[in-house]
């Protein structure tokens, strides 16, 4: 089921308007990684229960496994089935070409991150690639997100401690953020204020004073990547400051795995893993999504239109 260009433009304009609303009303979209169909259903059920607007997102690994057009169709069908407000984000797209494919597939949100493919990419390379994606995104009106350097961590359960003195060296600065936004024309700036991909032995700590300074320096949207393992009170304060999007992945993956392992152990004679996933895994992941949506103040904020 392919979308027409007019449909893509209408969806992207709506997403753009809703991001503006989120900022003005002090709530944030939860952006939840879509690993497979059960994960998508878990997000959809949480969104339906709480009447919350959501994003589902895929990185290059999921794109390779599922396919851009399949992802778009899965999400479109889920929106219609559940009657929810949901958009799609291409997360950490590693090249201009990959980002363009996401735009052409009708994704409303595009995150261009060439530093994923090359952690040592120069400032000039990152700015040039981002500007190219911003220009092409005018085709549909998709919102473009980026950051000026590599964002650390990975979407796994880490065993090492967080070295905050080292991480602080890569924190965003108000002047740096403003310069990058002005140089690229992006819609959303991915801020680094203590957030880090993955989950660690200790909870993460966000520098909210720095976030306020960045918010005051920018006119565009602000997102937070690496939201897993972060105490909810940080998110509640961050949305009050003006964050409009928070990415969650590892918390969901851990809940998925633990629920599946427990279900398999408790049901050794059940050969249909799909039944166990539906009965045990989806509710476990959905519970995580509900908790995040409450922290993001997005419960009750959905507007459903067809």
Query: What is the SS3 assignment for 156?
Result: strand
Could you tell me which residues come within 8 angstroms of residue 21 by beta carbon, excluding any fewer than 6 positions away? none
Q: Give catalytic status of residue 17 as yes or no.
A: no
pTM: 0.93
pLDDT in single tens digits along all 306 residues of the chain = 579 999 999 999 999 999 999 999 999 999 999 999 999 999 999 999 999 999 999 999 999 999 999 999 999 999 999 999 999 999 999 999 999 999 999 999 999 999 878 878 899 999 999 999 999 999 999 999 999 876 665 566 666 666 777 777 788 999 999 999 999 999 999 999 987 776 666 677 899 999 999 999 999 999 999 888 899 999 999 999 999 999 999 999 999 999 999 999 999 999 999 999 999 999 999 999 999 999 999 999 999 875
Nearest CA to 255 out of 190, 182, 199, 171 is that of 199
Domains and CATH numbers, the chain: 5-295 (3.20.20.70)
Q: Is the dihedral of CA 21, 235, 293, 110 positive or negative?
A: positive
> What is the radius of gyration, based on Cα positions, of the chain?
18
- Give the pLDDT score at 42: 98
Kindly report the CA angle at 173 between 91 and 108, in degrees rounded to 5? 25
Q: How far apart are CA 242 and CA 128, in angstroms?
A: 27
Helical pair 250-266 and 37-50, crossing angle rounded to 10 deg? 110
Given the residues 91, 113, 187, 295, the one annotated as active site: 91
Q: How far, CA to CA in Å, does 79 sit from each of 5, 51, 56?
A: 19, 12, 11
């Amino acid at each position: 089921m392919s979308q027409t260009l007019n449909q893509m433009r209408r969806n992207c304009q709506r997403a753009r308007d809703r991001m503006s609303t989120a900022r003005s009303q002090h709530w944030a979209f939860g952006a939840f990684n879509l690993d497979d169909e059960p994960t998508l259903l878990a997000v959809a059920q949480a969104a339906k229960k709480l009447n919350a607007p959501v994003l589902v997102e895929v990185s290059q690994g999921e794109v390779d496994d599922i396919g851009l057009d399949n992802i778009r169709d899965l999400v479109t069908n889920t929106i219609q089935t559940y009657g929810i407000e949901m958009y799609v984000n291409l997360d950490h797209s590693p090249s201009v070409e990959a980002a363009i494919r996401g735009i052409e597939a009708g994704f409303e949100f595009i995150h261009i991150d060439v530093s994923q493919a090359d952690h040592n990419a120069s400032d000039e390379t990152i700015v040039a690639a981002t500007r190219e994606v911003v220009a092409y995104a005018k085709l549909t009106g998709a919102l473009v997100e980026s950051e000026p350097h590599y964002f650390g961590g990975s979407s796994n359960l880490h065993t090492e401690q967080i070295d905050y003195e080292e991480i602080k060296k890569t924190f965003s600065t108000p002047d740096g953020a403003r310069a990058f936004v002005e140089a690229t024309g992006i819609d959303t700036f991915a801020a680094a204020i203590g957030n880090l991909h993955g989950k660690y032995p200790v909870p993460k700590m966000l520098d909210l004073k720095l976030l306020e300074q960045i918010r005051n320096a920018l006119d565009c949207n602000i997102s937070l990547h690496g939201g897993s393992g972060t105490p909810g009170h940080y998110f509640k304060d961050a949305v009050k400051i003006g964050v409009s999007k928070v990415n969650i992945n590892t918390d969901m993956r851990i809940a998925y795995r633990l629920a599946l392992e427990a279900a398999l152990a408790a049901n050794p004679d059940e050969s249909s893993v799909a039944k166990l996933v539906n009965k045990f895994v989806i509710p476990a992941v959905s519970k995580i999504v509900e908790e995040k949506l409450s922290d993001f103040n997005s419960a009750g904020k959905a507007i459903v239109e067809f």
